[in-house]
Amino acid sequence: MRTCVARDGQEALAVFRRDQPDLVVLDISMPELDGTDVCREIRKTSATPIVFLSSRDDEIDRIIGLELGGDDYLTKPFSPRELIARIKAVLRRTRGPAEAASPATLREHGRLALDLDRHEVFWDGASLTLTVTEFGLLRTLMGYPGKVFTRDELMDGAYREHTVVTDRTIDSHVRRLRRKFAELGGEPVLTVHGVGYKLGDCA
């Protein structure tokens, strides 16, 4: 595995565009462009997994990072072993090992389609770019269309690791997911108040 290093936000974008890495670790506090600005630029064209590093541990900072498109958020101080574990967990979600249990790689539900092998999502034939976690949430909901999933069940399905996340984290990912579908005129993820979320009929 090869690692590329950038000294500031501008260089980080240049390195990303040149090398197209499998995963990006972004420090929130960087010169030139900070981590959130770099994330915004990356998310305009890519769903490459992003892990944020920050000295800020407030819940609102975590939520902002996740709503921008981050897949995980690690606060300082942390051990190198924890960072490596988080990176491996995100990469495992990217590669979707659980799909091997199913012979079908294409799941369809009304106008919604997921290609599990290619990690692609389509609404009425139009392609969407989702982050690893957003894809995991949608994959979980599509496993049982119409079933109401609690936030805990969605955490288990989307993360598949012992990653500590909160209800508000799941809500942040769902909001981003809905915005992307709304741009194509879709609204497949429905709220069941007091319980969680479910997949609509997508007709």
Among 95, 115, 148, residue at a domain's last position? 95
Q: How far apart are CA 55 and CA 73, in angstroms?
A: 11
Looking at the structure, tell me whether residues 200 and 102 fall in a common domain: yes
Looking at the structure, tell me whether residues 112 and 195 fall in a common domain: yes
* Per-residue pLDDT in tens (0 to 9) along the chain, 203 residues: 688 999 999 999 999 999 999 999 999 888 888 899 999 999 988 889 999 998 877 777 778 888 888 888 888 888 888 898 888 888 877 665 444 334 457 888 999 999 888 888 999 889 898 888 889 899 999 988 889 999 888 887 776 554 556 677 888 889 989 999 999 999 999 999 999 999 998 98
Looking at the structure, tell me whether residues 63 and 148 fall in a common domain: no
Burial profile 70-98: b = 16 or more Cβ within 10 angstroms, e = fewer: bbbbbeeeeeeeeeeebbebbeebbebee
Total number of domains constituting the chain: 2
* Structural domain containing residue 115: 97-203
Looking at the structure, tell me whether residues 107 and 196 fall in a common domain: yes
| pLDDT at site 94 | 66
19: domain CATH number is: 3.40.50.2300
| pLDDT at site 163 | 54
Among 78, 95, 112, residue at a domain's last position? 95
Residue recorded with tokens 């606060």: 75
Looking at the structure, tell me whether residues 32 and 59 fall in a common domain: yes
Among 63, 95, 127, residue at a domain's last position? 95
Side chain identity at residue 146, one-letter code: G
| pLDDT at site 162 | 46
| pLDDT at site 58 | 75
Residue recorded with tokens 């288990």: 156
Looking at the structure, tell me whether residues 60 and 122 fall in a common domain: no
Looking at the structure, tell me whether residues 56 and 83 fall in a common domain: yes
175-188 pLDDT tens trace: 989 999 999 999 99
Beta-strand relationship, 149-150 and 126-128: unpaired
Looking at the structure, tell me whether residues 108 and 16 fall in a common domain: no
| pLDDT at site 77 | 87
Q: How far apart are CA 106 and CA 119, in angstroms?
A: 10
Looking at the structure, tell me whether residues 78 and 16 fall in a common domain: yes
194: domain CATH number is: 1.10.10.10
Residue 24 phi, psi dihedral angles, 5° rounding: -120, 130
The residue among 187, 47, 33 whose CA lies nearest residue 128 is 47
| pLDDT at site 104 | 54
The sign of the dihedral angle between the CA atoms of 92, 181, 121, 144 is positive
Q: How far apart are CA 77 and CA 189, in angstroms?
A: 36
Looking at the structure, tell me whether residues 36 and 127 fall in a common domain: no
Looking at the structure, tell me whether residues 102 and 181 fall in a common domain: yes
Contact 143, 182 (CB under 8 A): no
18-45 pLDDT tens trace: 999 999 999 988 888 889 999 999 998 8
Inter-helix orientation angle 35-43/9-19, to 10°: 30
| pLDDT at site 101 | 39
Looking at the structure, tell me whether residues 42 and 127 fall in a common domain: no
| pLDDT at site 32 | 86
pTM beyond 0.75: the answer is no
